[in-house]
Amino acid sequence: MRELPREGMLLAIDGMPVKAGGCAANVAIDLVKQGHAVDIVGCLGRDPAAQTLRSTLTAHGVGCDQLATTDQYPTSRTVVLLVEGQDRRFIHVFGANRALTVDHISREWVAGLKVLYIGGLFALPGLDPAALRDLLIFCRTMGVITVVDVVMTQSWQSRGELNALLPHIDYFLPNDDEAHLITGLTDPLAQLRFFRHAGAHTVIITQGKSGAYAGRGGDYWRSGTYPAKVVDPSGSGDAFGAGLIAAIHRGGDLPDLLRYGSALGASATRAVGTTDGVFTASEAAAFIAANNLPITMGKL
């Protein structure tokens, strides 16, 4: 839509599509498109939305054996408001995500993974920070790479909890708004230094159409963006995370991770919804080969 309705006004639109989504679901579907075997952990309500989500995941080939069901809450939902020329607005119901705990994440299952992705940290109220810290430590002991993304409300006040987790996270993926909310800093290099000093191993801060910054050790990398005709930016951050994980699987270095993540992120914006436009592995390879992503390196 071109603008939000004014107070007391009704805005008529052509349609209101309902799509499966959510951080974990988006990343899972995107990774299957890259040819990877993926299982998803989560908690759903006992309602039509849960049936839609489960059937969509199954149709894409995502393993759903680790999904739990609760009678306490309805399935989580998000309304995404798209206004031309403006960033997205989100209205979110935590729903069944409130019932998800670390106990739902089987350590026997985790031990068989190469990568554990935790999406929407801080939008999962049932995840006890101490228990999650123990799980991250277990992952490192078992050689399982951890990738953690965050979702934050405007009233977020969990810096102490995050500080306890950061030393045990292999890849930490906030966007620039989230990094600002956490650190109080606006300069991306200062944000990288903050997270590195807090103990995070590798930090990648995405900046939408401005690219991304990555930091590891005393070095940083800055990437630009690939060309894209944006229809709907929803899901682009999750697609970036999926590309990063796919590049980790094939042993890529940080520039490789930025290229793959940026390519999938750009592709996600081509269609309405969070996953419909995302490249397959062959499409991503062809796109990366045909388009140069500017990447510079420096010292933190």
Evaluate whether 279 touches 264 at the Cβ level (below 8 Å). Answer: yes
Series of mean pLDDT values for 10-residue runs along the chain (300 residues): 86 82 95 98 95 95 97 90 80 90 97 97 91 98 98 73 94 95 95 95 95 97 94 92 97 97 97 94 98 97
- Report the CATH number of the 29-38+106-299 domain: 3.40.1190.20
Predicted confidence at residue 155, as pLDDT, reads 62
Domain ranges of the chain: 29-38+106-299
Angle at CA of residue 108, ends 113 and 44, nearest 5°:
85
Alpha-carbon span 75 to 51, nearest angstrom: 10
Q: Tens digit of pLDDT for each residue in 234-280?
A: 899 999 999 999 999 999 999 999 999 999 999 999 998 899 999 99
Q: What is the pTM of this model?
A: 0.92
pLDDT of residue 150: 94
